């Protein structure tokens, strides 16, 4: 059995990790870390875990945890993992970090967008960006994985095949994204109160959202060029889900059959990417509670553009599910172990 420790187990992503790992045949959770609830029963924080998890919450002592676990998940704010990780810890345990600390290779870009000093830049070169469908072989050999962000996972996978094939003008790429409220975390914030969010939709982080450089960097690798794009996220009054709609000019004339064939070539064998039939648009309700990514597209011959669309559950494929998928690869398990979840409906 793989012994797993979770630091940040009482946040939304951490809670989802507990839900998924509790049903994982090859994993035992040995540490429920939560600075806010130390010594309180985990099931008293999340009552859905009553009679499933009997353990109490513990602190965030990564050095002690490294002696007990085979893998540590850090579902924590930016800066936390980077402040604690060191060579001694990485020699004992694998780490899957759900924050942005090791996603961006250029430390100056990270510090500019996140407004904090990176405390362990020496590990950036070896950290693997854990987008399994793109970096699967590197993930298998990694000891430190940077679990991608929720917006970025959906945005990158939706455009990746066409960027890789050079079919879209990357300088024209615009990404419009919408997320459920759980994407903002579990902390108490006035803008996320029920009366502030319900019956409303709003853009935020316009021209300044922190996931922008992550998307640009990864799509830049795919396209083989520096990418500069507009990314605008929106908050919608639902618990879970992300929908992205991406617009780009086509470099040449093409048709739906060719585009569908490209997507199928890249994702036809992927367990968790579902390329929809022509004319079908993704919806968040059809991926809720699952690790699936649903992708669709529409060519607009009038403007010479293509509209690419993707939908995920931000807490599963956008966070905890992807982290488990990475863990499975790192330990040589079946990649879909613990993740073969049928989407919830209604």
Residue 175 in any domain: the answer is yes
At residue 189 the predicted structure's pLDDT band, cuts being 50, 70 and 90, is confident
CA distance 325 to 335: 6
Does this model's pTM top 0.85? My answer is: yes
Q: What is the pLDDT of residues 193-211, one digit of tens each?
A: 999 999 999 999 999 999 9
> Are residues 278 and 210 part of one domain?
yes
Residue 141 in any domain: the answer is no
* Average pLDDT, integer, range 317-339: 98
* Average pLDDT, integer, range 59-85: 97
Q: Are strands 305-312 and 293-300 parallel, antiparallel or unpaired?
A: antiparallel
Mean pLDDT, the chain, as a whole number?
Answer: 97
Q: What is the pLDDT of residues 12-61, one digit of tens each?
A: 999 999 999 999 999 999 999 999 999 999 999 999 999 999 999 999 99
Residue 329 in any domain: the answer is no
> Are residues 180 and 308 part of one domain?
yes
Residue 80 in any domain: the answer is yes
Positive or negative torsion for Cα 289, 290, 291, 297 = negative
Strands of 202-203's sheet in order across: 202-203, 230-235, 174-179, 242-249, 305-312, 293-300, 273-275
Say how many domains are in the chain. Answer: 2
Containing domain of residue 86, as a range? 2-126
> Are residues 266 and 171 part of one domain?
yes
> Are residues 232 and 185 part of one domain?
yes
Asked whether the predicted pLDDT for residue 185 surpasses 90, the reply is no
CATH of the domain at 112: 3.40.50.720
Residue 193 in any domain: the answer is yes
> Are residues 246 and 188 part of one domain?
yes
* Active-site residue flag, 281: no
**Res 294: pLDDT:** 98
Residue 180 in any domain: the answer is yes
Asked whether the predicted pLDDT for residue 188 surpasses 80, the reply is no
> Are residues 101 and 178 part of one domain?
no
Q: In the chain, pLDDT over 90 holds for what percent of residues?
A: 97
Asked whether the predicted pLDDT for residue 156 surpasses 80, the reply is yes
Q: What is the pLDDT of residues 101-145, one digit of tens each?
A: 999 999 999 999 999 999 999 999 999 999 999 999 999 999 999
> Are residues 166 and 115 part of one domain?
no
Neighbours of 115 (CB within 10 A): 10
At residue 83 the predicted structure's pLDDT band, cuts being 50, 70 and 90, is very high
> Are residues 158 and 112 part of one domain?
no
> Are residues 200 and 72 part of one domain?
no
CA distance 13 to 18: 9
> Are residues 162 and 122 part of one domain?
no
Q: What is the pLDDT of residues 266-296, one digit of tens each?
A: 999 999 999 999 999 999 999 999 999 999 9
Asked whether the predicted pLDDT for residue 192 surpasses 90, the reply is no
Q: Quick one: which of 282, 250, 257 has its CA closest to 154?
A: 282
Angle, CA 149 vertex, CA 90 and CA 330 arms, to 5°: 40
CATH of the domain at 257: 3.30.360.10
Q: What is the pLDDT of residues 238-261, one digit of tens each?
A: 999 999 999 999 999 999 999 999
At residue 187 the predicted structure's pLDDT band, cuts being 50, 70 and 90, is confident
Strands of 94-97's sheet in order across: 27-33, 2-7, 71-74, 94-97, 144-146, 128-129
Residue 136 in any domain: the answer is no
**Res 246: pLDDT:** 98
CA distance 75 to 280: 34
Catalytic-role residue among 132, 150, 195, 281? 150
Residue 14 in any domain: the answer is yes
């Amino acid at each position: 059995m793989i012994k797993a420790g979770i630091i940040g187990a009482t946040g939304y992503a951490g809670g989802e990790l507990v839900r998924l790992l509790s049903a994982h045949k090859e994993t035992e959770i040995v540490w429920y870390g939560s600075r806010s609830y130390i010594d309180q029963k985990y099931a008293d924080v999340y009552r859905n875990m009553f009679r499933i998890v009997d353990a109490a919450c513990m602190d965030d002592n990564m050095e002690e945890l490294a002696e007990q676990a085979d893998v540590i998940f850090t579902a924590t704010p930016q800066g936390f993992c980077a402040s604690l990780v060191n060579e001694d810890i990485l020699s004992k345990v694998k780490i899957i970090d759900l924050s942005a600390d090791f996603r961006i290779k250029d430390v100056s870009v990270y510090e500019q967008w996140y407004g904090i000093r990176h405390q362990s830049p020496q590990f950036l070169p070896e950290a693997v960006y854990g987008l399994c469908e793109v970096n699967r072989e590197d993930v298998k050999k990694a000891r430190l994985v940077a679990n991608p962000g929720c917006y970025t996972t959906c945005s990158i996978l939706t455009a990746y095949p066409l960027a890789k094939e050079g079919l879209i003008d990357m300088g024209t790429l615009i990404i419009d994204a919408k997320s459920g409220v759980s994407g903002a975390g579990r902390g108490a914030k006035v803008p996320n109160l029920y009366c502030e969010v319900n019956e409303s939709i709003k853009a935020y982080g316009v021209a300044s959202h922190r996931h922008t450089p992550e998307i640009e960097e990864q799509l830049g690798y795919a396209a083989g060029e520096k990418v500069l794009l507009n990314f605008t996220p929106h908050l919608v009054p639902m618990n879970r889900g992300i929908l992205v709609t991406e617009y780009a000019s086509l470099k040449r004339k093409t048709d739906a059959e060719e585009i569908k064939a490209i997507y199928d070539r890249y994702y036809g064998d992927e367990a968790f990417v579902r390329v929809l039939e022509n004319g079908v648009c993704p919806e968040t309700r059809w991926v809720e509670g699952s690790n699936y990514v649903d992708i669709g597209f529409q060519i607009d011959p009038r403007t010479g553009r293509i509209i690419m669309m993707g939908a995920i559950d931000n807490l599963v494929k956008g966070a905890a599910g992807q982290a488990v998928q990475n863990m499975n690869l790192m330990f040589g398990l079946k990649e879909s172990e613990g993740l073969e979840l049928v989407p919830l409906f209604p």
